[in-house]
Amino acid sequence: MKALEVIIAIGVILGAIFGLSALAYALGGWIEAGFPFFGHRLVESGLPGWAWVSNMLILVLGFVMLIATFLTLAERKWSAMIQDRIGPNRATIDLPGLRGRPLGGVFHVATDALKMLTKEDFRPKVADALLFNLGPILAFAPVLALFAVVPVGPQVTVFGQRVGLQVANPDFGMLWVFAIASLAVYGTSLAGWASNNKFALLGGVRASSQMISYEVALGLGLVGVMMAFSSVRLPELIQGQTTHLWGGTVELPRLGAVNLGIPAWGLFLQPVGFIVFFAAAFAETKRAPFDVPEGESEIIGYFVEYSGMKFGLFMISEFAEVVILAAITTAIFLGGWNIGFGFDSTLTRALTQANLGWLLGAIYATVFWIKALLLCYLQLAIRWTFPRFRYDQIQSLGWKILLPIALANIFITGALILVDPSLRSLAVLGFVEIGFVLALTLRRPEPAGHEADDAHLPADAHGHAPPPLPGAAAASHH
Amino acid sequence: MAYKATKNPTTDLRERLFLPELLRGLAITTRHFLRNLFNPRDTNVHVVDRKGPNLVSTVSYPEEKTPYPPGYRGLHRLVPRDDGKPRCVACYMCATICPAQCIYIEAGEYETTDPSSESRVIEKYPTQFVIDELRCIVCGLCVDACPKDAIRMDTGLHTPSEYNRSGFVWDIPKLLQGPAVSHASDPWNKRASSATPPHQHHEPHTRIGEGLVPLKLPTGEQQKRTEVTDQAIPVTRFLKD
Amino acid sequence: MSESDRKKPSGDAQPSPPGAPTVHPAAGTGPTPTNPPPSPTASGPRAGIEHQPPAAKPPIPPPTPGGKPTPKHPGFVTVTVDGKELVAKPGENMIDAVKKVGSDIPYYCYHHRLSIAANCRMCLVEVSNSPKLVPACQTPMAEGMVIHTNSPRVQEMQRAVMEFLLLNHPVDCAICDQAGECKLEDYYQRHDYRSSRLEGEKLMRAKRKVLGPTVVLDQERCVQCTRCVRFMAEVAREPQLGMFGRGSAEYIDTFPGKQLDSNYSGNTVDICPVGALLNRDFRFRARSWFLSAAPSVCTGCSRGCSTFVDFMGQDMYRYRPRENEQINKSWMCDQGRLSYKYVNQHRVAAVMLGRGEDRREATVPEALRSVAEQFKALAGTEGLAVLASPVASNEDLLATLSFARDALGVRSVFVSGRPGGAGDHYLMTPDKNPNRRGLEWIARGLDLALKPFSELAQAINSGKVKALYAIGGEVPVDPSLVAQGFARLEYLVLQASNESAITAQAQVLLPAAVHVEDEGTFTNLDGITQRFRRAYPPRADVKPHWAWAVALAREFGFPWAHASARDVFREWGPRVAELASFDWDGAAPPVKIARGLNPLPTAADGRPPGYREFGPPRDRGI
Ligand code: SF4
Ligand code: SF4
Ligand code: SF4
Ligand code: SF4
Ligand code: FES
């Protein structure tokens, strides 16, 4: 019963994503085709290239903000399930059919929003008014701007126009991500400084030093992928990942030729780059285990003086960062909307023939978001799995571990690409690395030496073995 | 349970690499997540450590309630005598010991002509006995201090919610409830009035809790009795549910 | 000393007389008594009936050549108590004397103002000149005697005595008002502390037998010490109590057909070491350990017995007599004991303006302005008179009468005060005003003539006096009659502590504090001036008379800034010849306040839980 409910809920979510994607394609095609409903004149003029407006609205305001909003709930609900709790389930709506049904706590999203919006917006008298107000804006705006270069769906033909789900596709692509991502630090450090509160200042200083440190690893982690596909533009990176490393074309009855090869996903080519990039980007989001700028138990964080919707902006920008990190990682390392294993060619062929470009695009966008959501789950699960790093550990992880690894990775990758431009040797190395880690993970840990010694000592009532007596330990050696 | 800390501080490659351990940790949390996501919650409130498919051990409080254990220190009650008056003699021991200073008592005197024989031999009684349940820290010292077994916390209830503070101030009409109690050492079981008795009584000297005296109740009301035994006072739920 | 403040002040724990020789255990040779104790003064008001305990006068062992030791300190008796040397006055009781070296002999029946009965046997001690244990209360101390108050033999005997006393004791401390100040309880903890070995039944006696208007008896609790019997016979000189029966069936009762209705019966409650005799007024009102005690003076009559005021929060619960060799010894009368009630009941709580329909509550500045306005016009004329009550303290009178003279310009003062009543053969006097002598002195010192109340009545009736400034609301005749007369006044400013028919006639009613709410002095009819201390501060707008006078004077433009009764006394006390040499600070009772074990339970607002719901205790008749 419960499983069915969960499956229905997942279906509803996927349906919503699909619907929204289809809407985005339709709207984009409609705009490009030039407002056919407003009369002939406009049709003729058309607005070539203006689909970015609808894309911006639907991708940024629709997808990113909606997912980020629901992640605030997911954070609590999922952490509850991880920790064997129930999680938020008290908010219900007193309407027939909904009465007494928390529906997994979705109404908490509404109550949270209401609370944020209606709480007193308090500003300390001694705070710098301008900078204090600027803080949340500077923290929030870059995060949304980041999403401009992320392609969510492929270019397909809708209403006779080529439409893609991307706000902008500049030449500098990834560099935009690096540039804008570093801007977010201004928001946090300004907030910390302008609050005129020593704890807020501490949080701001911690945030800026942490973000600056990881900026380097963040960039270096991606260099390998860029080298492999010789581009910094995200659509081209995705396009590159759809190619097959080792082709395996088979003729299937009604479907024609199907390539069952392994796609050249960034993860397979660059597992080390993936880890470095993901860890660095995680540190940029300032979420546990990298949450020293907040450090609830010590300093509360750079936003300690903020309340109401200003605090809400900090919080929602954190979740928006989660979504965007997931989307970028999907695009660069998980093949974007690529399904792989033969589905792509078949699907594309069938739907292009049927002239259902919007359907193809929507399916691909849904696939993209499924991958992104899985990565969102991964980020939330990491937060609820790992303890917080100590501050010096954060710095040494960034400078002493991630940075050298990333550098080494770049050189090895570069050498391998030079040697074998087909990327196969790079992929082989990647599979070896992945296999090594998996093997280590799945290996049963061997009991440590003296634990085996302890095994025959009687355990006390609490299951703890008493410390071995000196004599007994000596005897067991004979 | 799922993760066993090793006593050996030396680490092997797996732990030094960090990544495998991270993945194992993620696997554990994800396993809990999936078990709890896909399986219906076990609502048996008697189980604390769950072993079923769903591991959620939360008790959804107002809808589900865990029964209080025997000996639970619940809401106070003033123990009635057989005639329905409080056993309390307003000795102020509870008010003196109370660390929260939440007991307020005013004493009065029973008339020698009081129609009930119990009251004729007991001089003192509380005209006001007030416990501010909001201030009470539920330490149970008042119960220990009472020399007359007149205040107990055996109701098995906790203080009900109220909409204003004065609702938490419990006075005699609210506190005086539950089964009556009588001890062999109670004065009304030893003498008939305050005057010098015409002959000495011949039962042995007893203390609180020694021996049980049948209540002088009309037939049919016997079940209201609390048995006075050496065992823990049984949890009685007698207030209106 | 502190014990005597917490416990009943029956003199059970006597302070050592000032100047008594003390012991320096470190000095091998012992002390030389440099200042011999003063001879006992017998200058009480009624020295004729004062009783001297006859049995406690053992002759000083004369230094005979035949083996009797010569005194180490001539004129004193030198003994060794628990290894320490003690130099005692000849004839001093052993129980009192050993306290000076820190030994403590338990006792029930001994009382330093009663004859020695030696029937409780609690005070048995081991002495060098007797093979058996001897009662300390009855044994004269001999030169060179070695006394052990704590040897194993003594301890075993004390335990045995306690066991016997508790054999038939009901131990109903839960309902016994003595609990907390009961010797049986204290000594049980100290000398017995084990459960009863009694297997059979206890003897039962009458409980709550009402002996008279003041006292109720529980015969079961009595330890047959006969203190009460001796007190009635020797001090009150009204033998109403007797010991009846014999053996374990002995009991205390009134003589057949008699009631315990003496005016001194309340003292039997004080001296009863257990809860057998209890005061009907105080009974069940409060547990003794909640009460705080402040040294004060009884205002019931002009004798001015020294007392303790027992209070809790801002409510007074009882008077207890306080040791005062000059005035009341260890006793006080029942009328005085009950006179505390006015402190709690029918108090004027707020400043009132207007008469009849127009009466309303007012703020202090408003009232002061109104008084100044009216009185400034009349000051110095015949139409303005001043009425002073001899219930007010010296400091009150000093300030108010100075105000009357300097600001109001009066040359004479009318005297009000409580009506006279009956006196009796011991302490109680017919004049029920505690400070008449003080009023006379102060009026003389300030050059004011005193006129009787009847002249004021005439002056008002004839219309000569139009405005009146009255200090104190007590009047010597029926208040309703006085109120009719006062209704004719155009302007009446009344500083009163209690509501009466007269307070209704005041245009300006200023709430006055009573003596327990302030410190000060009273001068009794014998001219003895006594300091009393403050028990608790007055409520809200209530102020002492002197404070009202100072506030009024400031309104008149005088630069008075007296902040306490002490300031007032230091300013005007020296102008009164009789008070000039009075050492105000030095005469203060040494104890300030002995706090109760546990203050009254309080809620968040500082008041007991249930207080708001059921009203303050005073509204419920306490
Ligand atoms: S349980 Fe403790 S705090 Fe509560 S009334 Fe009793 S003594 Fe006071
Ligand atoms: S201790 Fe018991 S008998 Fe005494 S006042 Fe409290 S409830 Fe009453
Ligand atoms: S007289 Fe003392 S021991 Fe006896 S019942 Fe009273 S308080 Fe308790
Ligand atoms: S009633 Fe009190 S004072 Fe009198 S004999 Fe008994 S114990 Fe002593
Ligand atoms: S005090 Fe000495 S016998 Fe009682």
Shortest Cα distance, chain B CAs vs residue C84, angstroms: 40
Question: Which residue has better confidence, C7 or C594?
Answer: C594
Non-local (6+) Cβ contacts of A177 within 8 A are A146, A149, A328
Give the one of A378, A386, A448 whose C-beta lies nearest to B25's C-beta.
Answer: A386
Question: Which residue has better confidence, C87 or A467?
Answer: C87
**CA B4 to CA A452: how far, in whole Å?**
14
Residue A473 pLDDT = 39
What residue ranges do the domains of chain B occupy?
13-67, 77-182
Determine if ligand 5 sits within 6 Å of the CB of residue C108.
yes
**CA C434 to CA B96: how far, in whole Å?**
37
| C174 at B interface, C-beta within 8 A | yes
- What sign does the dihedral B198-B201-B205-B207 (CA atoms) show? negative
Confidence of residue C593 (pLDDT cuts 50, 70, 90): confident
Q: Which residue in the block uniquely carries the two structure tokens 């005061």? A: C279
What number of other Cβ atoms are within 10 A of residue C580's Cβ? 10
| C198 at B interface, C-beta within 8 A | yes
Output helix, strand, coil percentages for chain B, rounded to the nearest 5.
20, 10, 65
Helix (H) / strand (E) containing B26: helix B19-38
| B47 at A interface, C-beta within 8 A | no
| C-alpha A356 – ligand 2 centre gap (Å) | 86
The token duo for A386 is 């790992």
- From A263, A180, A271, A273, select the one nearest A223 (Cα to Cα): A273
Residue A124 pLDDT = 86
Residue B14 pLDDT = 72
SS (H, E, C) chain A: CHHHHHHHHHHHHHHHHHHHHHHHHHHHHHHHHCCHHHCHHHHHHCCCCCHHHHHHHHHHHHHHHHHHHHHHHHHHHHHHHHCCCCCCCCCCCCCCCCCCCCHHHCHHHHHHHHHHHHCCCCCCCCCCHHHHHHHHHHHHHHHHHHHHHCCCEEEEEECCEEEEECCCCCCCCHHHHHHHHHHHHHHHHHHHHHCCCHHHHHHHHHHHHHHHHHHHHHHHHHHHHHHHHCCCCHHHHHHHHHCEEECCEEEECCCEEEECCEECCHHHHCHHHHHHHHHHHHHHHCCCCCCCCCCCCCCCCCCCCCCHHHHHHHHHHHHHHHHHHHHHHHHHHCCCCCCCCCHHHHHHHHHHHCCCHHHHHHHHHHHHHHHHHHHHHHHHHHHHHCCCCCHHHHHHHHHHHHHHHHHHHHHHHHHHHHHCCCCHHHHHHHHHHHHHHHHHHHCCCCCCHHHHHHCCCCCCCCCCCCCCCHHHHHHHHC
Say yes or no for a CB contact (<8 Å) between C201 and B123.
no
| C-alpha C94 – ligand 3 centre gap (Å) | 27
The CA-CA-CA angle for residues A336, A341, A347, to 5°, reads 75
Calculate mean pLDDT across residues C504-518: 93
Determine if ligand 5 sits within 6 Å of the CB of residue C135.
yes
Shortest Cα distance, chain A CAs vs residue B39, angstroms: 6
Q: Which residues of A touch B32 (CB under 8 A)?
A: 81-84
Say yes or no for a CB contact (<8 Å) between B58 and A3.
no
CB A54 within 8 A of CB A27: yes
Give the one of B8, B23, B30 whose C-beta lies nearest to A449's C-beta.
Answer: B8
Question: How far is C-alpha B14 from the geometric centre of its chain's CA atoms?
Answer: 54
Non-local (6+) Cβ contacts of C67 within 8 A are none
**CA B67 to CA B45: how far, in whole Å?**
8
**CA C19 to CA B90: how far, in whole Å?**
46
**CA A302 to CA A206: how far, in whole Å?**
9
Q: How many CA atoms lie within 13 A of B106 on its CB side?
A: 16
The CA-CA-CA angle for residues A221, A225, A228, to 5°, reads 140
Is the confidence at residue C18, as pLDDT, over 50?
no
Q: Which residues line ligand 3 (CB under 6 A)?
A: C 169, 171-173, 176, 178-179, 182, 184-185, 221, 274-275
Residue C325 pLDDT = 92
Read off the DSSP letter of residue C100. G
Determine if ligand 2 sits within 6 Å of the CB of residue B104.
no
Calculate mean pLDDT across residues B130-145: 91
Neighbours of chain A (3+ CB pairs under 8 A): B
| C-alpha B122 – ligand 4 centre gap (Å) | 22
Say yes or no for a CB contact (<8 Å) between A378 and B23.
no
Q: Which residue in the block uniquely carries the two structure tokens 């057949």? A: C256
Residue C328 pLDDT = 92
Neighbours of chain B (3+ CB pairs under 8 A): A, C
Residue B8 pLDDT = 61
The token duo for C513 is 């504090």
- The amino acid present at C491, given as its one-letter code, is Y
CATH of domain C352-575: 3.40.50.740
- The pLDDT mean for chain B works out to 77
What number of other Cβ atoms are within 10 A of residue C478's Cβ? 11
- For the CA atoms of C465, C471, C474, C478, the dihedral, rounded to the nearest 10 degrees, stands at 10
Say yes or no for a CB contact (<8 Å) between A386 and B10.
no
The CA-CA-CA angle for residues A271, A273, A277, to 5°, reads 120
Q: Ligand 1: which residue has its CA nearest to atom 6?
A: B142
CB C137 within 8 A of CB C107: yes
Calculate mean pLDDT across residues B53-82: 85
Question: How far is C-alpha C66 from the geometric centre of its chain's CA atoms?
Answer: 51
CB C94 within 8 A of CB C136: yes
Burial class (CB in 10 A: 0-12, 13-18, 19+), C338: middle
Helix (H) / strand (E) containing C496: strand C491-496
Confidence of residue C72 (pLDDT cuts 50, 70, 90): confident
Q: Which atom of ligand 4 is nearest to the CA of C217?
A: 1
Report the topology of domain C77-165: Ubiquitin-like (UB roll) (3.10.20)
Is the confidence at residue B215, as pLDDT, over 70?
no
Q: Which atom of ligand 2 is nearest to the CA of B92?
A: 5
Say yes or no for a CB contact (<8 Å) between B17 and A440.
yes
Residues constituting chain C: 622
Calculate mean pLDDT across residues B102-115: 81
| A385 at B interface, C-beta within 8 A | yes
CB C399 within 8 A of CB C572: yes
Helix (H) / strand (E) containing C398: helix C394-406
Calculate mean pLDDT across residues C440-451: 93
Helix (H) / strand (E) containing B27: helix B19-38
| C-alpha B140 – ligand 1 centre gap (Å) | 5
Say yes or no for a CB contact (<8 Å) between B205 and C200.
yes
**CA A109 to CA A117: how far, in whole Å?**
12
**CA A67 to CA A370: how far, in whole Å?**
12
pLDDT tens for chain A, 478 residues long, are 788 888 999 999 999 999 988 888 888 887 777 665 555 544 455 555 677 777 888 888 888 888 888 999 999 999 999 998 888 888 888 888 888 788 888 899 999 889 988 988 888 888 888 888 888 888 888 888 888 888 888 888 777 777 778 888 888 888 888 888 888 888 888 888 888 888 888 888 888 888 888 888 888 988 888 888 888 888 888 888 888 777 767 777 766 677 777 788 888 888 999 999 999 988 888 887 888 888 777 777 788 888 888 888 888 888 998 998 999 999 889 888 888 777 777 777 778 777 777 888 888 889 999 999 999 999 999 999 988 888 888 888 889 889 999 999 999 999 998 888 888 888 888 899 899 888 888 877 665 444 444 444 444 444 444 444 444 434 444 4
The residue among A90, A386, A388, A440 with the most chain B CBs within 10 A of its CB, best to mutate, is A440
**CA A1 to CA B37: how far, in whole Å?**
11
Residue B208 pLDDT = 61
Residue C382 pLDDT = 85
| B43 at A interface, C-beta within 8 A | no
Helices (H), C19-147: 94-98
Non-local (6+) Cβ contacts of C72 within 8 A are C30, C78, C87, C143, C144
The token duo for B129 is 């006995």
Read off the DSSP letter of residue B43. -
Non-local (6+) Cβ contacts of C551 within 8 A are C364, C368, C543
Say yes or no for a CB contact (<8 Å) between A81 and B50.
no
Q: Which residues of A touch B60 (CB under 8 A)?
A: 86, 89
CB C307 within 8 A of CB C332: yes
Q: Ligand 4: which residue has its CA nearest to atom 8?
A: C225
CATH of domain C183-279: 3.30.70.20
Question: How far is C-alpha C346 from the geometric centre of its chain's CA atoms?
Answer: 23
Q: Which residues of B touch C221 (CB under 8 A)?
A: none
Give the one of A3, A437, A450 whose C-beta lies nearest to B20's C-beta.
Answer: A437
Is the confidence at residue C153, as pLDDT, over 80?
yes
Q: What is the pLDDT of residues C315-331, one digit of tens each?
A: 889 999 999 999 999 99
Over pLDDT 70: what percentage of chain C? 85
The number of C-beta contacts closer than 8 angstroms across A and B is: 82
- The amino acid present at C607, given as its one-letter code, is R
Tell me the backbone φ, ψ of residue C498, rounded to 5 degrees: -125, 145
The CATH number of B77-182, from 2.90.10.10, 3.30.1360.30, 3.30.70.3270, 1.10.1840.10, is 3.30.70.3270
Q: Which atom of ligand 5 is nearest to the CA of C138?
A: 2
The token duo for A345 is 């060619």
| B99 at C interface, C-beta within 8 A | no
| C-alpha C81 – ligand 5 centre gap (Å) | 18
**CA C213 to CA A371: how far, in whole Å?**
96
Non-local (6+) Cβ contacts of C573 within 8 A are C394, C398, C579, C580, C582, C584
Say yes or no for a CB contact (<8 Å) between B90 and C290.
no
Helices (H), B167-207: 172-175
Identical fold, C77-165 and C352-575 = no
Closest ligand relative to C134 C-alpha = 5
Q: Which residues of C touch B203 (CB under 8 A)?
A: 201
Shortest Cα distance, chain A CAs vs residue B158, angstroms: 23
Non-local (6+) Cβ contacts of C213 within 8 A are C259, C261, C265, C280, C334
Confidence of residue B222 (pLDDT cuts 50, 70, 90): very low
What number of other Cβ atoms are within 10 A of residue B199's Cβ? 6
Q: Which residues of B touch C612 (CB under 8 A)?
A: 166
Closest ligand relative to C133 C-alpha = 5
Calculate mean pLDDT across residues B21-41: 89
Q: Which atom of ligand 2 is nearest to the CA of B90?
A: 5
Calculate mean pLDDT across residues C173-185: 91
Question: Could you give the ipTM of this predicted complex?
Answer: 0.82
Say yes or no for a CB contact (<8 Å) between B121 and C608.
no
Strand partners, C353: C360, C508
CB B87 within 8 A of CB B189: no
Q: Which residues of C touch B210 (CB under 8 A)?
A: none
Q: What is the pTM of this model?
A: 0.69
Q: Do chains C and A touch (3 or more CB pairs under 8 A)?
A: no
